[in-house]
């Protein structure tokens, strides 16, 4: 197993992308700390990992709260005596036209997707530097962060663009400690988050959810919605031996919609 002996922490690991990534890294042999604001969903992912013989820990944590971030990292270290891989995945969004975004919505999205993501990366990197054995940080961005015009929320897009920028700015100082930091930029992925935003957009357009999803598929050159497992495979690659000389990059996994 390519990740045998490694310890991974995945935020937003209770469902969707985080769950798929947690399961894939566990399949590779890593021990997984699954963090989620919903402790029950984190526990569900952990049980799925244990069901296939893996080792896992569920942590209830809100990444918008710095004290909870610190506790999350500490609990991971206490349980597994180290941390090698961090998947910075927790996120929130809500479909909203640019002229309808108010301060409360902007702040809610940025507390998790920008502030939370930054301080999670910072706190994890600090521990990786202290350990002195390198590490892999995978920040979850989005094609929305690259200016994809079909995005459903400008506040979300701004936060995801910030994730790409903070990843690239961290590249050189982290490289001094053999810590790789990259971003993954998913397109339309079949997750509860996509269903929620698509449902709202379908309602606004006066069409059925199935029609909105059909339109989404038609806009993708490869003609299919991305599956969570597709993102998990990219995360596993970046976390494994094949990713050892890759850092500072932002990888699109979107079926060919965005090509920069």
Measured CA distances, 38 to 41, 58, 115, 244, 257 (Å): 6, 10, 19, 33, 32
Is there a catalytic annotation at residue 156?
A: yes
Measured CA distances, 41 to 9, 29, 71, 94, 218 (Å): 15, 22, 19, 20, 32
Q: Classify residue 172 by burial, with Cβ atoms within 10 Å: 0-12, 13-18, 19+.
A: exposed
Spatial contact of 128 and 74, defined as CB atoms under 8 Å apart: no
Closest CA to 143 of 183, 181, 191: 183
7: phi then psi, degrees, rounded to nearest 5: -115, 130
Q: Considering 156, 197, 230, 247, which one is annotated as catalytic?
A: 156
Q: Which residues are catalytic?
A: 156
């Amino acid at each position: 197993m390519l990740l045998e002996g490694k310890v991974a922490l995945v935020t937003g690991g209770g469902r969707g992308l985080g769950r798929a990534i947690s399961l894939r890294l566990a399949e590779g042999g890593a021990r997984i700390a699954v963090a989620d604001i919903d402790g029950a969903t984190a526990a569900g992912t952990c049980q799925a990992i244990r069901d296939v013989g893996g080792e896992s820990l569920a942590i209830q944590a809100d990444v918008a709260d710095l004290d909870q971030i610190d506790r999350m990292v500490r609990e991971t270290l206490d349980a597994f005596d180290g941390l090698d891989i961090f998947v910075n995945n927790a996120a929130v969004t809500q479909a909203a036209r640019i002229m309808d975004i108010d301060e409360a919505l902007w702040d809610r999205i940025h507390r998790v997707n920008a502030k939370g993501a930054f301080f999670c990366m910072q706190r994890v990197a600090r521990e990786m530097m202290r350990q002195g054995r390198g590490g892999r940080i995978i920040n979850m961005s989005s094609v929305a962060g690259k200016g994809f015009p079909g995005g459903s929320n400008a506040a979300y897009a701004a936060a995801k663009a910030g994730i790409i920028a903070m990843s690239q700015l961290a590249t050189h100082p982290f490289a001094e400690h053999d810590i790789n930091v990259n971003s993954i930029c998913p397109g339309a992925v079949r997750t509860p988050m996509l269903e929620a935003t698509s449902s709202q957009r379908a309602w606004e357009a006066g069409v059925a959810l199935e029609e909105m999803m059909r339109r989404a598929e038609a806009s993708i050159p490869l003609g299919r919605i991305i599956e969570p497992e597709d993102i998990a495979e990219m995360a596993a690659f970046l976390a494994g031996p094949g990713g050892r000389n890759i850092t500072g990059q932002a990888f699109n996994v979107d079926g060919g919609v965005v090509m920069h």
